[in-house]
Chain A
Amino acid sequence: MTTAPKFDQLKVGDTLPPLKLAPISRHQLALYCGGSGDHNPIHVDIDFAKKFGFKDVFAHGMLSMAFLGRLVTSWVPQTQVRKLGTRFTSITWVGDTITVSGKVTGKREEGGQKLVDLEVKCTNQNGQDTLQGDATVALN
């Protein structure tokens, strides 16, 4: 169970504990294909991926977005997550090692809620961002 940080104790620039993930495996992509209902063969069938000009299969963007979700819900209880969004900025290849990180970019009060805005992202082993996202959480 996650215990949320306190609104008053946070400041812009504070970072979330990062998630360092194991390399993306073909097995993980197969599980995500079934688990998410995204059955696009480009993520699991190398013959299909090559036919469409790719060197190999690559991860579902939404798998990486799920990592952003894990980062945020490991920091605050899920009931306090108001928004989660991302741009998919580069392809995550099978074998890539992803680190998920986040930091506080803003604090505001709106509609009686104390809201904290976050920048969240996935970065590969070469230091390249694969997802550039943002989240909003409500804190006490």
Chain B
Amino acid sequence: MQLDKKLIGHTFKPFTTTVEAGKIRLFCKAIGEEDPIYVDEAAAKKAGYRAIPAPPTFLTAVTNDDPDKGGLLRLLNVDIGLILHGEQHYEYLAPVHVGDKITCQQKVVDIYDKKGGALWFVVSETELKDQAGKPVAKAKGITVVRNPDAAKK
């Protein structure tokens, strides 16, 4: 297995998704977050938010809401069972709240291998903008692909 470095620079089709209260509630239940600002609009407003805020890593649920889900793996022609998450970085530029319509655009920025091709690394960056077109966050992720051929050598 070898990944095509010509895919560096590939830009995915942008999509827009609405931040929903119910999704944040389930996300918080899953991660054990019990601060009432994430589930109760009155508590959020009392704490100075204009609506329920999205927790910091809820942005992963936003970027995962791509109607063309799995686009990166299809582009790379890689099986989902072979990938691991290597790194994730978020830069927060403005708060994201329930009701916001967030547009995400992902781009492949680097592809490289280590250990003689046993592991491949795909770096992608995603820009997130709100309904006014204002950038709210930047995400950078590294997907690690385990080369199924490496173990056979």
Contact = CB atoms under 8 A, between A and B. Distances in A.
Interface of A: 1-2, 21-22, 28, 31-32, 34-42, 48, 51-52, 60-63, 65-70, 72-74, 77-79, 81-88, 91
**Which 3 pairs from chain A and chain B are nearest by CB?**
A37-B64, A85-B89, A52-B81
A86 B46 CA distance: 31
A36 B85 CA distance: 14
A32 B58 CA distance: 11
A83 B91 contact: yes
B55 A73 contact: yes
A1 B42 CA distance: 12
A54 to B, nearest CB: 9
B57 A1 contact: no
16 contacts: A32-B30, A35-B28, A38-B60, A51-B81, A52-B81, A65-B60, A65-B88, A66-B27, A69-B55, A70-B33, A70-B55, A72-B56, A79-B53, A83-B91, A85-B90, A86-B89
B142 to A, nearest CB: 8
Interface of B: 23, 26-33, 35, 37, 43, 46-49, 53, 55-57, 60-61, 64-65, 69, 79-92, 95, 140
A18 to B, nearest CB: 14
Given A69-B55, A70-B31, A81-B92, A36 B64 contact: yes
Nearest to B37: A1
Nearest to B86: A88
Query: Of B46, B64, B81, which is in contact with the most chain A CB atoms at under 10 Å from its CB?
Result: B81
Contact of A78 (B28, B32, B55, B85): B55
Nearest to A49: B81
B82 A52 contact: yes
A82 B92 contact: yes
Contacts of A32: 30-31
A87 B27 contact: no
A39 B79 CA distance: 13
B61 to A, nearest CB: 5
A84 B53 CA distance: 16
